[in-house]
Structure 1
Amino acid sequence: MGTEVVELDRPPRLGPLYRAAALRRGTAADPRLPERALVLRGVRVDREHMAEYDRVCGFRLRDELPATYPHVLAFPLTLTLMTGADFPFPLLGLVHVENRIQVLRPLLSSDAFDVAVRAEALRPHDRGTQLDVVATATIDDEPVWSSRSTYLRRTGTGSDRSTPDGPKERARPPRPSATWRIPRRTGPDYAAVSGDRNPIHTSRLLAKAFGFPRAIAHGMWTKARCLAGLEGRLPDTYEAHVAFKLPILLPATVGFSTATDGARWTIGVHDTRTGKPHLTGSIDTVEGGHGSGPPVR
C-alpha cells in the first residue's frame, strides 16, 4: 500500500492541536505509523516572522533562510500528524533525540515552496521505540531541503547512547570556540517564534512535573544557534546532523566548540563546569545531494 497524500488548504491552527496533545493518553496495542503524508503547497515566508526567528536564534538578517527555519514552517504539519488518532504514541513523552537537515539549494525569502511531512522507520531501541518524522521542501517537485527528526518513546532502561552512525560525544570536550550565556527567556522566546510551546521549555513548575529542575532550552534552538555561530563559513549545500544529549537548564552558560578538517565541521555544546555534552554533531558538504526521500506529489 502506498502513502496517502493529504493536501491541506491552509496551515493548521496550533491551539486545537495542543489541546489534542494534552488529552491524548496511552499507546496503541499494535503500534504502526500512519501511512499518509501531509502536504501544504505554495508556502511563503513572512519576512517579519523570519526576522524575529533570526533574532532569537542569533542569525544575521538576510534574504537567505537559515537551514533550521523551514523546520518551523513545517511544525504545524508535524503537530497535526503526531496528534492524529492514527499516530501510535501520545506526543507528550516523546523525546527528540536527533535531527538531520539537508540543504540542497539555498532557499530565499522570496521563494514559494511545497512542504510535506510524514512519519517512517518505526524501530526498536534499547530504551524503547524510535521513529523518524521527515519534513521536505520542494520547488517544482525538486527537493531543496529536508529534515529528519528522530524521536524516542521510552519504555526500557537501557543505556542512552547515540545511534551507531550518529555523532559521538568526546571523552573530554575541546576548548570552546565561544561561551554562550543563555538567558531564561530563551525558552519562551523560541516557543513564541517556533510555535513549539511544550511547557518544559516555558514553565519552571511544569518542567518540574516532567522531571527537570527548571525549564530547558529547545533542542532545535540549540542546533539553530550552532549554525548561526558558523554563519558565513558553511557551503551553499550541506547536511547538519546533531544528537541531543543532556538538556540545557535555563538560564545557562555553555561552551560552543568547532573544528574542521576542510571537508567536515565537528560541533558541540558542553556544560562549562562539568564538560558534559548538551549537543554533538557534524556538518558535511552535500554535492548534488538528495533529500530524505522522493518528493510527495
Structure 2
Amino acid sequence: MDAELVTEIPSMAAVYARAVKTLTRKPKNPVLPEVTLIFHGARADQEKLTAFRQAVSAPANGKLPSLYVHSLAFPLAMSLMLRDDFPLPLLGMIHLRNEVSVAQPLAQDEVFDVEVNAENLVPHAKGACCDLVVKIVVAGETRLTLRSTFLAKGVRLSGMAPEAKTHERFVPPRRTAAWKLDGGTGRRWAAVAGDYNPIHLSSLSAKVLGMPGAIAHGIYLAARALAAIEPANGNYEWEIEFQTPVVLPSAVDLSFAPSASGFAVQGWNSRKGKPHFSLRLTREE
C-alpha cells in the first residue's frame, strides 16, 4: 500500500462542502484506493477538548477520550473518501459500527501521528460496506486503532450478497439510565465535533438523503456512553454496533452492566422497545 504525506487535517466542514460531488458516483465493481494518508505532529486543541468533555460529561483526567481522538483525526479519513479514486458516495453512507483498540490512552498534551486507509470492501444485503481505519502512532508505536464500518446503500459488488440478518426479539434489560435528546442534539454535536453531515442537522436535510428524520450522531451516542466507563490507563478495547437510528427528538433508555473485565451497555427506544446500539468495553488483564 502506498503512503502519502499530508500537511494538514482538514475540517469536517471543508470535507462536507466538497462531498456533494460524490453523490453522482455509481460504481460498477468498485475497488478501494491502495493508499495510506499520513499526518505528522497532531495534538489536541484544548478548547475543543473542553467542549467535547462538557458535551458528553467526560472527566477532565489528563487523558484524551478515544472518541475525542477520533473526532480530531477522522476528517483525514473522510478526505480519503473525497479522492477521485474512492468509488463510493460519501453523503448518505450509514454508520454501522466502531471497533477501537487502545494500547495506552494518550495524555492530553501528547503529540502523535495519524495514519488512515480504507479496506474490507464487502457485499451487504442492502449495498456494500467498507472500513475506514485510523491509527494513532507515537514514536513508531500504534497507541490507538479506530475502525469505522459504513454502508453505501444500493451499491452492488460482484459475487453473492449475504442475506439480511434475522434479529431475535429484543427484550430490554433493566434500565439504569435514560437520556432525553431534543431536536437540536445533532446540530450542537456538529458544532463540537465538526461533523456536519446533513442527516444529523434537520429533518428536511435528513429526508433528502433517505432518512426518516434527523438522527443522532453515532459517535455522540458512543462518546456519551463511554464517558463514565472508559479507563484512564492500560490496554482496553471497545466496540459498538448501531442497530436502529435515534430519530430526534427522542428518549433513550440505557443499561450499564458491569462485569469482571469491563461493561456491556445497551441503548434502546423507550417507547417502541427497539434497540439503538450495543456497546461492549473490555479491559485487558
TM-superposed deviation, 1:286: 3.3
Match of residue 9 from structure 1? 7
Aligned in 2, Cα 1:245/1:235: closer, same or farther, shift over 3 Å? farther
Counterpart Cα distance in 2 of 1:100 and 1:170: 25
TM-superposed deviation, 1:103: 1.4
State how 1:224-243 maps to structure 2 within 5 Å.
Answer: 224-231=223-230, 236-243=234-241
TM-superposed deviation, 1:169: 7.5
Counterpart Cα distance in 1 of 2:13 and 2:195: 11
Match of residue 49 from structure 1? 48
Counterpart Cα distance in 1 of 2:94 and 2:234: 30
What's the TM-score once normalised by structure 1's chain length?
A: 0.87
| Contact 1:200/1:210 (8 A) holds in 2 | yes
**Per-residue CA distance 1:248-287 (angstroms, 9 max, x = gap):** 1122111111223312421111111222111012111235
Secondary structure of the residue that 1:250 maps to in structure 2?
Answer: coil
Q: What amino acid sits opposite 1:66 in the alignment?
A: P
Match of residue 243 from structure 2? 245
Aligned in 2, Cα 1:285/1:204: closer, same or farther, shift over 3 Å? same
Counterpart Cα distance in 2 of 1:192 and 1:268: 26
Q: Which runs of 5+ in 1 are unaligned?
A: 163-167, 288-297
State how 1:65-80 maps to structure 2 within 5 Å.
Answer: 65-80=64-79
Match of residue 59 from structure 2? 60
Q: What amino acid sits opposite 1:115 in the alignment?
A: V
**Per-residue CA distance 1:210-236 (angstroms, 9 max, x = gap):** 33343110001101111014256x763
Match of residue 204 from structure 2? 205
Aligned in 2, Cα 1:263/1:235: closer, same or farther, shift over 3 Å? farther
| Contact 1:122/1:132 (8 A) holds in 2 | yes
Secondary structure of the residue that 1:42 maps to in structure 2?
Answer: strand
Match of residue 84 from structure 2? 85
Aligned in 2, Cα 1:66/1:186: closer, same or farther, shift over 3 Å? same
| Contact 1:54/1:61 (8 A) holds in 2 | yes
Q: What amino acid sits opposite 2:199 in the alignment?
A: I
Q: Which runs of 5+ in 2 are unaligned?
A: none
Counterpart Cα distance in 1 of 2:184 and 2:193: 14
Percent identity between the aligned chains?
36
| Contact 2:13/2:195 (8 A) holds in 1 | no
Q: What amino acid sits opposite 1:250 in the alignment?
A: L
| Contact 2:112/2:136 (8 A) holds in 1 | yes
What's the TM-score once normalised by structure 2's chain length?
A: 0.91
Secondary structure of the residue that 2:66 maps to in structure 1?
Answer: coil
Q: What amino acid sits opposite 2:247 in the alignment?
A: L
Aligned in 2, Cα 1:119/1:4: closer, same or farther, shift over 3 Å? same
Match of residue 95 from structure 1? 94
TM-superposed deviation, 1:181: 1.1
